Copies of this chain bind each other. A is one copy, B any other.
């Protein structure tokens, strides 16, 4: 697109001063006393000509793009839009722009997309990628890239991350089901290579044991990714084992949605026969059939915090907090009900 844009030189000529002076004024560099009179004239003509600094030239000069790459596994998963909005809002405040990279849930894509983002010279990378790619992360860091993780963390905490308290969240869900009289509770676990999947699974076990209920191995199924389809398949698998249960704690909302399908398919109904809880309180989870009881986490806020952490990294603001924690809470809706005795 070849639009003629006013340059520093244009402004300088019109003002009959040297271009470096214009630059100083427009960026109000101090230490260079410029007469108010000249400064004023410069500012006025700049506005008049609609001068905007050319981002290419600027970036080339200062070697920064003022963009940050945001890697997500799947934009269609409703939890990501709010996160992204949060990131964008915060970034925008500081003049940065987010560049999205979507892996379509494919691991092989991850590396390729990160390369694309790096090629674009993003000043940092926010990874909201659900999939494990520790070596990828590590290599980014080794190359000197700034990295912030969302909803996952590396075991050794070497990387800044924004996470929610999965342990507390799952405990609330289990607690709620227990309060409703459920004892045979199944768990549809997320992928164990992902920190959320792993931590939620551990939390489930712990919460059950705390109640003196040793969770039955046969009532736990592991999914390969967070999708409706996996949730459906997993619960279907549990039904086939023919061990009774009256409730299921799904590791996230999409999985829970898949459980709905499996329950219907089995000729049962939720919550009458089986109660279901999700995790994330994604948009529209209150509109499903039935409205989903789930653990709410502040998605938008997590995005903002991730962006803040990234900006601190980029701007070298000292910040010892590596892990930014955010608090979940339970939202009780229609997918859970009192236990009607054993099934």
The residue on B at minimum CB distance from A291 is: B289
A120 touches B287 (CB 8 A): no
Interface stretch among A15-23, A98-106, A210-218, A272-280?
A: A98-106
Given A76-B81, A102-B85, A260:B287 Cβ within 8 A: yes
Stretch of A38-46, A50-58, A182-190, A320-328 at the chain-chain interface? A50-58
Return chain B residues, CB-CB under 8 Å to A63. Answer: 2, 56
Is residue A290 within 8 Å, beta carbon to beta carbon, of the partner chain? yes
Chain A positions 286-321 with a Cβ under 8 Å from a chain B Cβ: 287-291, 314
Q: Which one, B123, B257, B287, contacts A1 given CB within 8 A?
A: B123
A1 to B66, CA, bound (A): 10
Instruction: Tell me the number of copies of this protein.
Output: 2
- Report how far A57 CA is from B85 CA in the complex, Å: 30
A129 to chain B, nearest CB (A): 16
Closest to A63 in B: B2
Choose the segment among A29-37, A141-149, A196-204 that binds chain B (4+ C-beta atoms closer than 8 Å): A141-149
A78 part of interface (Cβ distance < 8 Å): yes
Looking across the interface, which residue of chain B has its beta carbon closest to that of A2? B63
A219 to chain B, nearest CB (A): 25
Q: What total of chain A residues lie within 8 Å of the partner, measured CB to CB?
A: 50
What is the CA–CA distance of A75 and B89 in the complex, to the nearest angstrom? Answer: 13
List B contacts of A314 (CB < 8 A). 1
Q: Is A121 an interface residue (CB 8 A)?
A: yes
Chain B residue with minimal CB distance to A260?
B287
Interface status of A230 (Cβ within 8 A of chain B): no
Among B3, B85, B123, B283, contact of A145 (Cβ-Cβ < 8 Å): B3
Asked if A54 meets B121 with Cβ closer than 8 Å, knowing A76-B85, A287-B257, A287-B260, the reply is yes
A27 to B81, CA, bound (A): 38
Given contacts A55-B119, A57-B60, A314-B1, contact A84 B88 (CB under 8 A): no
Q: Are the CB atoms of B119 and A3 closer together than 8 Å?
A: no
**Chain B residues whose C-beta falls within 8 Å of the C-beta of A88 in the assembled complex:** 100, 102
Chain B residues near A82 (CB, 8 Å)?
76
Chain B residues in 8 Å Cβ range of A57: 56, 60
Known A88-B102, A97-B120, A284-B284; 4 more pairs at CB < 8 Å: A2-B63, A57-B60, A81-B81, A289-B289
Q: Which 7 A-B pairs have the closest CB atoms?
A: A289-B289, A56-B60, A56-B59, A75-B81, A3-B144, A76-B81, A1-B123
